Amino acid sequence: MAVNIYHNLLIKASPKQVFDAVTKPEHLNNWWSLKSSGRPELGAEYNLNFTDDFNWYCKVSDVQKNTSIYFKMTKSDKDWEGTTFGFDLEPKDNATWLKFSHENWKMPNDNFKHSSFCWAMLLNGLKNYVEKGKIVPFQDRN
């Protein structure tokens, strides 16, 4: 039985601005990871470094420029291993409707529940970053 995380939010910015914020390492490091690398190209590998113990990798499994991107985890903790997370972006009234998913979790255990909460907090951080330029220092992110 696979379980999934879904969050939707409106970001007052263009789809291109939101796409850049969820795909370019220099932006990812301002709202999510400590250090990251990668390119928004099909099959490209991303390194998502949070700490020495949380130095994870994923591959772009689907990408449509300024519209959507999906990442399949290839090296992570056992609960994230094999999961896919992604962002679908739809223009809406001079803003972007972001539809986030993190799918194929093996079970709704404590890590799943904590990750769902963290994604909600991080996506709010993404919204504040894109709309207001607000950067929360890495050590202060949940």
Give me the chain's average pLDDT, please: 97
Helices (H), the chain: 15-23, 25-31, 110-132
Neighbouring C-beta atoms of residue 48, cutoff 10 Å: 23
Domains of the chain, first to last = 3-140 (3.30.530.20)
9 pLDDT more than 90: yes
Q: How confident is the model at residue 66 (pLDDT cuts 50, 70, 90)?
A: very high
* Closest-CA residue to 28 (of 87, 72, 80): 87
Q: What's this model's pTM, rounded to 2 decimal places?
A: 0.96
Question: pLDDT tens across 45-62, in order?
Answer: 999 999 999 999 999 999
Can you tell me the distance from the alpha carbon of 82 to that of 93, in angstroms, rounded to the nearest whole number?
36
142 pLDDT more than 90: no
7 pLDDT more than 80: yes
